[in-house]
Amino acid sequence: MDINIKIKDREGVIHDILAPTDMAMNLMEVVRSYELAPEGTIGICGGMAMCASCQCYVTSKHELPKMSDDEDAMLAEAFDVEDNSRLGCQIQMTPELEGLEVELAPES
Amino acid sequence: MIETDILIIGAGPTGLFTVFEAGLLKLRCHLIDALAQPGGQCSEIYPKKPIYDIPAYPEILAGDLTEKLLEQGKQFQPGFTLGERAETIDKQDDGTFIVTTNKGTKHKAPVVAIAGGLGSFEPRKPKIDNLEQFEDNGVEYIIKEPELYRDKDVVIAGGGDSALDWSIFLTDVAKSVTLIHRRNEFRGALDSVEKVQELKNLGKINLITPAEVKGILGDDKVTGVVVEQKDKEPFIIDTDHFIPLFGLAPKLGPIGNWGLEIEKNAIKVDNSLDYQTNIPGIYAIGDVNTYPGKLKLILCGFHEATLMCQSAYKRIFPDKKYVMKYTTVGGVEGFDGTKKEAPKAVVKAIN
């Protein structure tokens, strides 16, 4: 099943896209699959919560999976962090996230 | 001047495997890497992470893979220029290339193989408006010479291992050490966190959390930093040095200005043939290249390195005949005089 999500890219353009929930994809990979940020500027570490290049701000009220220690520690070191910051690579696409709205953090 | 047959930019898994494949063709290699140790991302970012898609290794730690690649290529005696970034490339009249590093080390080779992964690892810089203006005048991102800080006031920012370790180390050298971190918690080896706590209790480390450095003061040299701490007015700390330690991030860097065709932050190559770039004699292999259907996988880098070496051989020895030989048949003859080969079966007649 696919879910609808809204992603605001780094230029401020909002994209309404469909994300599959059955391919073990995370938000960072969804962004890459739609090429919403240039290759090499997002998902640099490949999704290990080790670079913060996929940092995003969650602007909808969805209940997201809890932050792992790795993600929390990486965000402690990242720049432009806000209270609603998350690492896209740590957010798995699940049916519960239908309607999710996020904004990509600036490139760091 | 360092001279070699194939000059490899980047000592990650692809670069290291190139040494082996080139060695089978009796070509010597030299590697340049901005990091102080070989292994690239595998040793810098995730040495303790398991990799599951290296053929014949159901599971191997990235750090162990690096060790094994070094072991596999060691009889071909690769040279290394580590801790230096390849900065410029100049083509000579005889068709060879000279690559010069940021420290001025020169390397000459008829073939250059860029195996630069995501680029060279550079320190991540906090967003402070006048930060760059003080670089090397009180702002340092890497501590090279601890004596520089003898009897000086030092402010370190960051919350990871290097911020903790250097804060501890510099308490014995500097006049004062202030450690500033955005959070109250530190991530790092437990020993280091406890040691910092102990030094804080002894008054040897001035710990300011949760806080961030937002500005730098001084004319031509750093004289102080502006600190913003939660629920407080911004305040100034007088200091001689400000050392932001926020880890390293890869950047394509100077390679991007070598006149190579770049697409998607990667170097375009001819994947139908030999992974050569738009400049004959310069190849790009592994994560640093792009072509239709490219996958950034270590195993793809190995394949690309192998084909590249065959092409490099033809470029260096255009008139010499050669066909690929299986290692099972020919063994592996090192430049160090060693030879690995299958043991000969014992032949004995039966009467």
Mind listing the pLDDT tens digit for each residue in A60-82? Answer: 999 999 999 889 988 988 999 99
pLDDT band of B248, cuts 50, 70, 90: confident
Q: Sort out which chain B residues have CB atoms less than 8 A from A50's CB and list them.
A: 45-46
How large is the average pLDDT for residues B207-229? 95
Which pLDDT tens digit goes with each residue over B178-188? 999 998 888 88
Q: How far apart are CA B341 and CA A20, in angstroms?
A: 51
Average pLDDT over residues B6-27: 97
Chains A, B: CB contacts within 8 A come to 49
Q: Is residue B345 part of a domain?
A: no
Same domain? For B257 and B240 the reply is no
pLDDT digits (tens, 9 = 90+) for B266-324: 999 999 999 999 999 999 999 999 999 999 999 999 999 999 999 999 999 999 988 88
Q: A50 pLDDT band (50/70/90 cuts)?
A: confident
Based on the domain organization, do B184 and B267 belong to the same domain? no
* Interchain contact, A76 vs B183, CB within 8 Å: yes
Within-domain flag for B91: yes
Residue of A nearest to B180 (CA): A77
Residue B220: per-residue pLDDT: 92
ipTM comes to 0.82
pLDDT for B147: 94
Q: Is 2.40.50.180 the CATH number for A2-104?
A: no
**B262 in contact with chain A, both atoms CB, cutoff 8 A:** no
Last residue of one domain, picked from the residues B183, B212, B246: B246
Whether B105 and B11 map to the same domain: the answer is yes
Distance CA A53, CA B173 (A): 35
pTM: 0.84
Mean pLDDT of the residues in chain A: 93
Q: Among candidates B166, B175, B159, B155, which has minimal Cα distance to B224? A: B155
Does any domain span residue B351? no
Whether B159 has its CB under 8 Å from any CB of chain A: the answer is yes
Q: Do A77 and B160 touch (CB under 8 A)?
A: yes
Pair (B230, B285) in one structural domain: no
Query: According to the model, what pLDDT value does residue B309 have?
Result: 97
In a domain, B350, yes or no: no
Q: How many domains would you assign to chain B? A: 2
Q: What is the CATH number of the domain that holds B308?
A: 3.50.50.60
* B184 within domain boundaries: yes
Yes or no, beta carbons of A79 and B126 under 8 Å apart: yes
> Taking 90 as the threshold, does the pLDDT of residue B44 lie above it?
no
Does B181 sit within 8 Å of A76, measured CB to CB?
yes
Residue B65 has a pLDDT of: 98
Is the pLDDT score of A1 beyond 90? no
Q: Tell me what the pLDDT averaged over chain B comes to.
A: 94
pLDDT at residue number B345? 78
Phi, psi of B204 (to 5 degrees): -90, -20
| C-alpha to C-alpha distance for B6 and B24, rounded to whole angstroms | 13
Query: Residue B249 and residue A44: Cβ atoms within 8 Å?
Result: yes
Is the confidence at residue B142, as pLDDT, over 90? Answer: no
* Closest CA in chain A for residue B186: A73
The Cα–Cα gap between A18 and A13 comes to 16
Taking 90 as the threshold, does the pLDDT of residue B249 lie above it?
no
Chain A residues at the B interface, defined by Cβ less than 8 Å, are 38-41, 44-45, 48, 50-51, 53, 69, 73, 76-77, 79-81, 108
**CA pair distance A63, B100, nearest whole angstrom:** 52
Q: Give which of B229, B156, B238 is closest to B199, Cα–Cα.
A: B156
Rounded Cα gap, residues B239 and B230, in angstroms = 21
> Same domain, yes or no, for B314 and B206?
no
Looking at residue B213, its pLDDT comes to 95
Residue B282 distance to chain A (closest CA, Å): 21
Would you place residue A40 in the very low, low, confident or very high pLDDT band (cuts 50, 70, 90)? confident
Amino acid at residue number B245: L
Confidence of residue B327 (pLDDT cuts 50, 70, 90): very high
Q: Which residue has the higher pLDDT, B120 or B70?
A: B70
3-class state of residue B58 by DSSP? coil
Do B208 and B278 share a domain, yes or no?
no
Q: Which residue, among B228, B235, B238, B172, has the nearest Cα to B204 in the 3D structure?
A: B172
Q: How far apart are CA A105 and CA B220, in angstroms?
A: 33
Chain A interface test: which of B246, B251, B290, B300 (most A C-beta within 10 Å): B246
Asked if residues B147 and B173 have their Cβ atoms less than 8 Å apart, the reply is yes
pLDDT band, residue B156 (cuts 50/70/90): very high
Average pLDDT of B114-143? 91
Domain that holds residue B161: 132-246
Retrieve residue B311's tokens.
């092409």
Which residue in chain A is spatially nearest to B119 when comparing CA positions? A40
Residue B252 is predicted with a pLDDT of 87
Residues B196 and B153 both lie in one domain: yes
d(CA B29, CA B37): 17
